[in-house]
Amino acid sequence: MQVPGRPVPTTFEYVEAIAWRDPQRLALVQEAQRWSFGALFADLVRVVRVLDRLGVRRGQRVAVGTEGLQAGLLLLIACENLGAVTTSFLPRNDPDTEALFGMVDWVISDAPQRCPSTARFQLLDGAFLAQVSAIDPRDGAACPRAALEPHEPQRISRTSGSSGRSRFMLLPRQAQEHWVRTGADNGGYRPESRLMIAGPLVMNAVFARSSACLRMGAAVLDLTRSGPQGHEITHILALPALLEELLDRLPADYVPGRRVEVGTVGGFVPPQLRARAGRVFGGRISSRYGANEVTGICDDLDAGGTGVLSAGVDVRIVDEAGNDLPLGQAGIVAVRTPGMVDGYIGDEEASRAAFRDGWFLSGDWGALVAPRVLRLDGRHDDLVNIAGVKVPAAQLEARIRELTGVGDCGVIAANLESGALSVGIALAVEEGTAQEPLLRALEEGLRLGPAVGAKVIFLGCLPRMANGKLDRIGLRRLFLA
């Protein structure tokens, strides 16, 4: 059934309306540079017109990779305005670029990239910037625009790749709009909010929440290098690993000008980190749980991994045969939401395994402990078999942190040394740390017994993906080495 009227406004159109209504309102900060909504919209018009001249068209797929948030947001919003399908990558050391570039029409970056002949490459060099600067946004020339219909594709997202290669998903506009809308609602943002971003645009949650803030007239801040000192911020959105880095870099006497609410995405927040962030920033700390295949599932998981399901989210707990399990019994978390995709691009086998009868079977292991209350126990594919009892790695990691006082640790299920070992434990410690007391604490506290034969290694830091998640493939290589 065709819905009368035109599609809902784009982020470009929201920024345009605010720029005409309140041009001096703060929109974007990147380190020492600031953009008002008037200035941001003028730059958007320039970029849209240059991209249109280059030949970016409705329905084409455009991959954008930049070092700074400002350039990335400009290009993504401009491409959306032209009706292009956008996706993001890291301009350096992104392990997925070969696969990603093979499925797009354009690659735009501020760093040289190796692209296949099927994709046009545009370097954000001096010549490109000269073209942008030469345009007068007030010269009366038309600015091309195309508001996509709800069913048309708008965004290519990807899985984290923390336990294998990344898979890619095509989001129609209605799904991406759901990401933006729920990002605004669940983040608690208001027009006066100032959101500091600590995470890459590769994460769709980062792009969606940045878009949500700009749509309502709130400001987005990229203070990755300088930190929040000297800036008035109201909210932080961060990967857990980047939140910890941010706290480590803050001056000892740092006190925010007001209470700052902290939201994390992309991984579980250890209790110590949650408590530390609360002490420093003074506001609510929320740990979002979701999946790129379905958007957010719980707005906030507590320190024990339990949270209330978000509005519009349905969850079933099933066994490996797909049968529903009773309340309180742990199993595979199956989800459906208004923002879910229907499969992975070019991977029919993985799509059939993960998407069944309108539900997404996640890799997560958990239980419904009350109506619409989910307890997340860890990754289904990271269950550790201890003497015949399957224990989620995340649960064991939490216990290890408690026993040793080590801030970062990782556990993998592994049959090492010809099958004699079934648990690998990695502890991140500073050089010179005495290992014997830690080993003794593990032996006495975990009571793993001789049948398990755990192996412990000590590292300066754990291997992590670009999104901050534990790189379990890399960790497994370290154990094998």
Q: What is the model's pLDDT at position 17? A: 98
In this structure, are residues 409 and 441 in contact, taking their beta carbons and an 8 Å threshold?
A: no
User: For residue 126, which phi and psi values (nearest 5 degrees)?
Assistant: -60, -35
Query: Is the predicted pLDDT of residue 101 greater than 70, yes or no?
Result: yes
The pLDDT > 70 percentage for the chain reads 91
Q: What is the model's pLDDT at position 236? A: 97
Tell me the pLDDT band of 450, cut-offs 50, 70 and 90: low
Tell me the pLDDT band of 468, cut-offs 50, 70 and 90: confident
Q: What is the model's pLDDT at position 164? A: 57
Task: Please name the residues in contact with 79: beta carbons below 8 A apart, sequence gap of 6 or more.
Answer: 51, 56, 62, 64, 86
- Sign, CA dihedral 380-383-385-388, equals negative
Q: What is the model's pLDDT at position 267? A: 74
Mean pLDDT of 78-92: 97
State pLDDT tens for residues 379-438: 666 666 565 556 778 778 888 998 999 988 988 865 554 444 567 899 999 988 999 999
Q: Is the model more confident about 464 or about 414?
A: 464
Which of 239-243, 280-284, 358-362 comes out lowest in average pLDDT?
Answer: 239-243
State pLDDT tens for residues 226-263: 999 999 999 999 988 889 899 999 999 999 999 999 99
Tell me the pLDDT band of 139, cut-offs 50, 70 and 90: very high
Q: What is the model's pLDDT at position 388? A: 52
Q: What is the model's pLDDT at position 33? A: 96
Mean pLDDT of 164-192: 92
Q: For residue 170, what are the β-bridge partners? A: 156
* CATH, domain 387-480, list 3.30.300.30, 3.40.50.300, 1.20.120.80, 3.20.20.70: 3.30.300.30
Tell me the pLDDT band of 129, cut-offs 50, 70 and 90: very high
- Give the start-to-end residue ranges of the domains of the chain: 11-226, 288-379, 387-480
Query: Is the predicted pLDDT of residue 93 greater than 70, yes or no?
Result: yes
Which residue in the block uniquely carries the two structure tokens 């910890």?
Answer: 244
Cα distances from 157 to residues 87, 173, 349, 400, in angstroms, run 6, 13, 18, 34
Q: What is the model's pLDDT at position 249? A: 93
Q: What is the model's pLDDT at position 449? A: 56
Q: What is the model's pLDDT at position 302? A: 87
Q: What is the model's pLDDT at position 478? A: 85
For all residues of the chain together, what is the average pLDDT? 90
Q: What is the model's pLDDT at position 1? A: 45
Task: Please name the residues in contact with 361: beta carbons below 8 A apart, sequence gap of 6 or more.
Answer: 318, 322, 332, 334, 353, 354, 355
Query: Is the predicted pLDDT of residue 325 greater than 70, yes or no?
Result: yes
Mean pLDDT of 275-300: 93
Query: Is the predicted pLDDT of residue 24 greater than 80, yes or no?
Result: yes
Mean pLDDT of 56-65: 98
Q: What is the model's pLDDT at position 418? A: 43
Q: What is the model's pLDDT at position 240? A: 85
Mean pLDDT of 99-108: 97
Which of 11-20, 148-157, 195-204, 460-469 comes out lowest in average pLDDT?
Answer: 460-469
The pLDDT > 90 percentage for the chain reads 69
Q: Does domain 11-226 have CATH number 3.40.50.880?
A: no
Topology (CATH level 3) of domain 288-379 = Luciferase; domain 3 (2.30.38)
